[in-house]
Amino acid sequence: MQTLQGKVALVTGAGSGIGRANSVVMAARGAAIIVNDLGAASAQETVALIQQAGGTAVACIADVSDAASVERAFTAAQQALGPVDVLVNNAGIPGGMPAFEDIDEAAIDRMFNVTVKGAMLCTRVVLPGMKQRRSGRIINTSSITAFGSHRRGSVYAAAKGAIISLTRAWAREFAEWNILVNAVAPGRVQTPMSAALSTDAAYAEEVRRRVPLGRRALPEEIAAVVAFLASSDADYMTGQVLSPNGGEIM
């Protein structure tokens, strides 16, 4: 297991779920964590978990879909902990599984503003420093829905598909500065966002039928893949999409 000692990692949407797990796991491997979330209370909870375990973290409250908010909060956080070495664009919102004709314009705008525009705005803030240091890691969170794994939920799938396209485009564009850009595309994960599914017998049966490992992932299992991509073990990887999904898509 490679150390992340001396690295500063900024994780968006880190107040719960996969984002919180990303933060805690990378902190355990030595990184100082900038914990971004829209909610101050949830961000502080993640910070407290890291600090109680002996790690270093600060909260960074910002709406990733708002450029001024991102610029202000990210600048202040970097002044506190230092320049960002690893950016994890994880912030997102649930899309559900509505039929396409039931999705209104506001839902489309919100999904792309948070997922796609948010990743762009956050990357834009930390990129100049990475270029100056000729070093950096950007890890984007996509989803197996981008591969057509589900019958519905096309707007969520489209936004997550755009994240894969951004990953590949950035990987090629930023390579000359030794900035590596990769993505994770998780399958079904046990998070607060999907908590209601835990008691749904039909959903449990679907998991057993469609996922060869027969269960949903723990957030920490996704975070381990993110930590790998942040480490020197992944020094020759860029433009790749790793999909920890229990075998649902092979």
Q: Which residues are catalytic?
A: 156
Q: Which helix (H) or strand (E) holds 85?
A: none
Beta strands in the chain (DSSP E): 8-11, 32-37, 57-61, 86-89, 136-141, 179-184, 241-242
209: Cβ–Cβ under 8 A, 6 or more apart, which residues? none
Q: Give dist(CA 14, CA 171) in Å, integer.
A: 24
Contact (Cβ atoms closer than 8 angstroms) between residue 83 and residue 62: no
How many angstroms separate the most distant Cα atoms in the chain? 52
114 contacts 93 by C-beta, under 8 angstroms: yes
Amino acid at position 75, single letter: T
